[in-house]
């Protein structure tokens, strides 16, 4: 400890106290500075940490002079157990008040930095994710501001789901990019990113050193960019042209994507791919149960997938005379809508196998008029499935290709219509969830941009259903979510309530502020005052100091590429 900066006076509570500040040359204390005191019982073995939460000036007038004294009110953080520093340095709760008259010292930069690099039990963090710096910088013992690095624990991030929340334009993608750089660039941790607007196309393309302003050579040495980036996009040529303009970094594997009908071995996959709402999803699930019961022999004999079998059953319902099918409960109007959607899928994303084509060509039905009424076009089902068209590349949406160690997969769906975006994402998430449950792919982080599109409480879709399964079972399976959210109050409550970590930026919407009031227990008032680049982080298990913690995020190493 250096020269003291004050002494405790007046009433002292277990969790708070005040002290008169001793004027020192070059040292001006400010709110949120951390001070340290000797424990009244164990002395230096248990130094007590406290944070300045308010500063006031008190005027003192005597017969001969007038003086002003500054009073600092402090909140006790806890006492640090230094008995076994080579093993652990935990912080424990203080259960007794400090003594009036005790000396108060500024905490040394090195001491606090060491604590920031330890987990909740006081052990050094094994895999550190460098997110940025504590905000504001702490006053050093020499009076100068000292920046303290803030680290997330990879284990902390992997054992609970995370919500990244802020209004548009405040930097959600920026923070997510920093996390991707840390996870993939330092530890080769697998990521799968649902990219709705081509925002993550630059992952793996580092800035030239001349463009990096605020990171030192020592901080940059860990970013080796030795991971692989796999991009799935509807426009591979355009993506490659953009990426090839920027040299350096990892090699990109850019591909189009499609779905072979032969890969649809699970009827639920067809339901996620086809249904636009939960009602349709339930209808298709009922239809799939009927197919499993009535067509098991066809699957074995002809090696056909669920896709043509479901199509045949829908066509049977459309051709029937009954308003509602007696076997499945589906109404004819619903069957027409689903048939039209399946036809469109076959003309865009789904590639039929030879066995499926043969089955459909030889399955006779005449639903021309009903289809024209139902989908408003002259698409004939038997012709529409096999008309001349530019076919997408062979199917490659396989979990074992989408999630690998040392790989970041960017699923760019920016070119798809909104309704198809949610369906193709639901299909992919279900495939990944299944594969992880079976242990076929490594544990990974699933990052979903524009989460309102897939988890809205106002427009419940099948994507809500699969996200609920992931938030309920994902942590146990080694599949954790990071949702990028603009309007937290609009997200399905059963999904957002399971977000253990919250990284929150600027929020102005009244409904969202009301929601966050319950999350941050009164700290919501600080959120509108955050500057760009400042974030509140809460819900960390592997963090020694009090939460929420305010952090100024570091500069990204990845280049920002505009598609």
CATH code, domain with 517 = 3.40.50.300
Q: Give the end of a domain, one of 97, 127, 151.
A: 151
In a domain, residue 558? The reply is no
- What pLDDT was estimated at residue 366? 42
pTM for this model (two decimals): 0.89
pLDDT digits (tens, 9 = 90+) for 238-286: 888 888 877 677 778 998 888 888 888 788 999 999 999 999 999 999 8
Residues 144, 159, single domain; the answer is no
Identify whether residues 431 and 367 lie together within a single domain: no
DSSP states of 292-308 as a string? HHHSHHHHHHH---HHH
Element of type H or E holding 520: helix 510-520
Residue 527's pLDDT band (cuts 50, 70, 90): low
DSSP string over 231-293: EE-S-HHHHHHHHHTS-SSSPEEEE---EEGGG--SHHHHHHHH-SSHHHHHHHHHHHHHHHH
> Within a 10 A sphere around the Cβ of 559, how many other Cβ atoms?
17
Q: Is pLDDT above 90 for 179? A: yes
| C-alpha 327 chain-centroid distance | 42
- pLDDT, residue 390, reads 39
pLDDT on residue 379: 33
Residue 518 confidence class, pLDDT cut points 50, 70, 90: low
pLDDT of residue 389: 39
pLDDT score recorded for residue 415: 80
Q: From 447, 294, 302, select the one nearest 362 (Cα to Cα).
A: 302
Backbone phi, psi, residue 206, to 5°: -75, 155
Q: Is 43 left (phi over 0), alpha (psi -120 to 50) or beta?
A: left
Tell me how far apart the alpha carbons of residues 255 and 405 are, in angstroms, rounded to a whole number: 19
With a cut of 50, say whether residue 385 has pLDDT above it.
no
Amino acid 525: pLDDT: 44
Are 214 and 311 members of one domain? no
Contact 48, 39 (CB under 8 A): yes
Cα–Cα distances in angstroms (integers) from residue 214 to residues 14, 89, 132, 147, in the given order? 41, 31, 11, 12
Tell whether 124 is covered by a domain: yes
Model confidence over 100-128: pLDDT tens digits? 999 999 999 999 999 999 998 889 999 99
Are 457 and 424 members of one domain?
yes
Would you state the pLDDT for residue 348?
A: 74
Whether residue 241 is found in the same domain as residue 346: no
Whether 384 has a pLDDT exceeding 70, the answer reads no
* Element housing 58 (H / E): strand 43-61
* Residue 418, pLDDT above cutoff 80: yes
Is the model's pLDDT at 369 over the cut of 70? Answer: no
Q: Is the peptide bond before 264 cis (omega within 30 degrees of 0)?
A: no
Residue 500 and residue 533 in one domain: yes
In this prediction, residue 358 carries a pLDDT of 75
Domains in the chain: how many in total?
3
Query: CA-to-CA distance for 311 and 432, rounded, in angstroms?
Result: 25
413 and 310 in one domain?
no
Q: What percent of the chain has pLDDT over 90?
A: 50
The pLDDT score that the predictor gives to residue 264 is 84
- 11 and 102 fall within a common domain: yes
The sheet that has 252-255: what strands, in order across it?
A: 149-153, 128-134, 549-553, 534-538, 499-504, 161-165, 479-485, 444-448, 191-195, 407-412, 228-232, 252-255
Which of the pair, 253 or 381, is modelled with greater confidence?
Answer: 253
In this predicted structure, the answer to whether residue 403 has a pLDDT above a threshold of 80 is: yes
Distance (Å) of CA 242 to CA 74, 236, 254, 257, 410: 53, 10, 11, 19, 15
Are 180 and 304 contained in the same domain? no
Residue 151: phi, psi to the nearest 5? -125, 140
Domain containing 360 equals 260-384
Examine the pLDDT at 237 and tell me if it is beyond 50: yes
In this prediction, residue 492 carries a pLDDT of 95
* Same domain (yes/no): 166, 60: no
Cα separation, 401 vs 408, in Å, equals 11
Query: Within a domain: residue 391?
Result: no
Q: Which of 31-35, 264-268, 434-438 has the lowest mean pLDDT?
A: 264-268
Q: Are residues 305 and 355 in the same domain?
A: yes
pLDDT tier for residue 374 given thresholds of 50, 70 and 90: very low
Angle formed at CA 379 by CA 281 and CA 461, multiple of 5 degrees: 20
User: What confidence score (pLDDT) does residue 524 get?
Assistant: 41
Alpha carbons 197 and 218: distance in angstroms, whole number: 34
End position of a domain, from candidates 360, 384, 408: 384
pLDDT value of residue 528: 54
- pLDDT value for 63: 65
Residue 463 has pLDDT above 90, yes or no: yes
Q: Which of 144, 85, 194, 143 is nearest to 423 (CA)?
A: 194
Query: Taking 80 as the threshold, does the pLDDT of residue 506 lie above it?
Result: yes
Same structural domain, 371 and 515: no
What is the structure's pLDDT at 105?
94
Among 151, 171, 194, the domain-final residue is: 151
In this prediction, residue 134 carries a pLDDT of 93
Cβ–Cβ < 8 Å for 333, 374: yes
Averaged pLDDT for residues 175-194: 95
């Amino acid at each position: 400890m250096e020269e003291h900066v004050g002494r405790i006076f007046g009433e002292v509570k277990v969790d708070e106290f005040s002290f008169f500040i001793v004027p020192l040359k070059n040292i001006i204390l400010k709110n949120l500075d951390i001070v340290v005191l000797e424990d009244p019982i164990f002395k230096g073995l248990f130094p007590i940490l406290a944070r300045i939460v308010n500063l006031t000036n008190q005027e003192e007038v005597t017969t001969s002079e007038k003086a002003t004294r500054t009073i600092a009110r402090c909140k006790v953080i806890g006492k640090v157990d230094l008995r076994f520093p080579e093993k652990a340095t935990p912080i424990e709760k203080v259960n007794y008040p400090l003594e009036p008259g005790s000396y108060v010292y500024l905490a040394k930069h090195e001491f606090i930095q060491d604590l920031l690099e330890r987990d909740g039990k006081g052990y050094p963090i094994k895999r550190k994710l460098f997110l940025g710096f504590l905000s504001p910088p702490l006053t050093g013992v020499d009076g100068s501001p000292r920046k303290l690095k803030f680290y997330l624990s990879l284990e902390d991030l992997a054992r609970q789901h995370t919500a990244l929340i802020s209004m548009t334009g405040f930097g959600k993608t920026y923070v997510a990019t920093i996390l991707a750089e840390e996870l993939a660039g330092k530890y080769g941790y697998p990521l799968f990113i649902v990219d709705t607007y081509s925002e993550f196309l630059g992952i793996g393309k580092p800035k030239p050193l001349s463009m990096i302003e605020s990171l030192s050579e020592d901080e940059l040495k860990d970013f080796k960019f030795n991971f692989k980036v796999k991009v799935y996009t509807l426009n591979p040529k355009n993506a490659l042209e953009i990426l090839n303009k920027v040299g350096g970094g990892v090699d990109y594997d850019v591909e189009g994507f499609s779905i072979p009908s032969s890969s649809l071995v699970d009827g639920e996959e067809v339901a996620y791919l086809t249904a636009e709402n939960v009602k349709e999803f339930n209808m298709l699930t009922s239809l799939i149960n009927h197919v499993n019961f009535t067509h098991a022999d066809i699957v074995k004999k002809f090696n056909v997938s669920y896709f043509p079998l479901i199509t045949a059953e829908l066509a049977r319902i459309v051709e029937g005379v009954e308003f509602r099918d007696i076997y499945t409960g589906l109404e004819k109007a619903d069957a027409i809508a689903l048939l039209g959607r399946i036809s469109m899928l076959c003309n865009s994303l789904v590639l039929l196998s030879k066995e499926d084509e043969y089955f459909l060509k030889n399955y006779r039905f005449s639903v021309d008029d009903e289809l024209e009424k139902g989908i408003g076009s002259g698409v004939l089902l038997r012709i529409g499935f096999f008309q001349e068209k530019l076919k997408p590349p062979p199917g490659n949406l396989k979990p074992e290709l989408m999630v690998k160690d040392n790989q970041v997969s960017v699923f760019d769906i920016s070119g798809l219509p909104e309704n198809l975006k949610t369906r193709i994402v639901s299909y992919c998430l279900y495939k990944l969830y299944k594969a992880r449950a079976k242990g076929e792919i490594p544990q990974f982080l699933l990052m979903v941009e524009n989460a309102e599109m897939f988890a809205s409480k106002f427009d419940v879709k099948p994507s809500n259903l699969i996200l609920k399964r992931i938030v309920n079972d994902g942590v146990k399976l080694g599949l954790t979510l990071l949702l990028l959210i603009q309007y937290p109050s609009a997200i399905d409550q059963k999904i957002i309530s399971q977000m253990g970590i919250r990284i929150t930026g600027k929020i102005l919407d009244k409904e969202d502020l009301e929601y966050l009031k319950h999350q941050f227990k009164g700290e919501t008032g600080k959120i509108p005052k955050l500057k760009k680049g400042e974030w509140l982080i809460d819900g960390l298990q592997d963090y020694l100091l009090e939460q929420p913690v305010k952090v100024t995020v570091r500069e990204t190493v990845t280049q920002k590429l505009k598609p």
